[in-house]
A and B are shown apart, each in its own frame.
Chain A
């Protein structure tokens, strides 16, 4: 049992070992003084995917690379860059993969059309039922 506990503790400690000892980047966990800029930065960070913890956004992740990305995004917003320009810059490096914001690419058209198709199918099925009940 003791061995089991020690082993599970060792597992929990592994991610910390794999990261750096440097302090976090200056703007990683510090808000921009201007509330509008901070809101824009936060909204962008929530839709940028972390490269280390791949099912988290960089706003949620504790990975050091996510912290560096947060700091870089805040610095670029403070320098006056538009959030969508920063997103496009990241997508040009990592592909659509890095962004959680859905696009209107042709490959996604079936996905966007799915609600309409399903609604049409439902109406078509209902039409038969309603028709039958009428006297």
Chain B
């Protein structure tokens, strides 16, 4: 018994080395999913972020059909990268609304002129208040809101070309 026990500390040491090594080589997962997926969209009412489009309130998102809510900002580089994918979704008939985070109207206008405008309504969230209420941790992010105003799906990061079929399928599921 004693002869076996004497190896226990070495075994524990090896187990710890293994634990630390696996922690070192495992890719770092920094994605923080919102806990509000599956729950109703929080109440908000935001002023217009672009000069020729209306602002956005949570009531606008409960019109009976699923909508895509895109969280973006004119100062955010990946948001410009995902713009062509949003335009493709718009061409596929998806209703897209947006919230512009910590933005200014003139900057949003310039961003839309440069990258195209896939949005129906854009709300201005100057203090990230609605972003925090949504459990969103950065830009860009996109939420699918079903027709009853419930958050059905969250996509974190820019929408790449190969994410478009998933988004379309999730929109179909939310119908």
Residues of A within 8 A of B (CB): 17-22, 25, 51-52, 54, 64-65, 68-69, 71-72, 90-95, 97-98
Residues of A within 8 A of B104 (CB): 21-22
- The number of A-B residue pairs with CB atoms under 8 Å apart is 64
Instruction: Tell me, in angstroms, the Cα distance from A98 to B134 when the chains sit together.
Output: 14
Instruction: Tell me, in angstroms, the Cα distance from A70 to B39 when the chains sit together.
Output: 26
CB distance from B71 to the nearest CB of A (A): 12
A51 touches B127 (CB 8 A): no
Instruction: Tell me, in angstroms, the Cα distance from A129 to B35 when the chains sit together.
Output: 53
**Chain B interface size, under 10 / 10 to 19 / 20 to 34 / 35 or more:** 20 to 34
Instruction: Tell me, in angstroms, the Cα distance from A111 to B92 when the chains sit together.
Output: 51
Instruction: Tell me, in angstroms, the Cα distance from A20 to B128 when the chains sit together.
Output: 11
Residues of B within 8 A of A64 (CB): 102, 128
Residues of B within 8 A of A21 (CB): 75, 104, 107
Residues of A within 8 A of B101 (CB): 20
Contact A93 to B35, CB < 8 A, known contacts A18-B77, A51-B138, A64-B102: yes
A92 touches B35 (CB 8 A): yes
B134 touches A93 (CB 8 A): yes
Contact A65 to B34, CB < 8 A, known contacts A18-B77, A22-B102, A94-B135: no
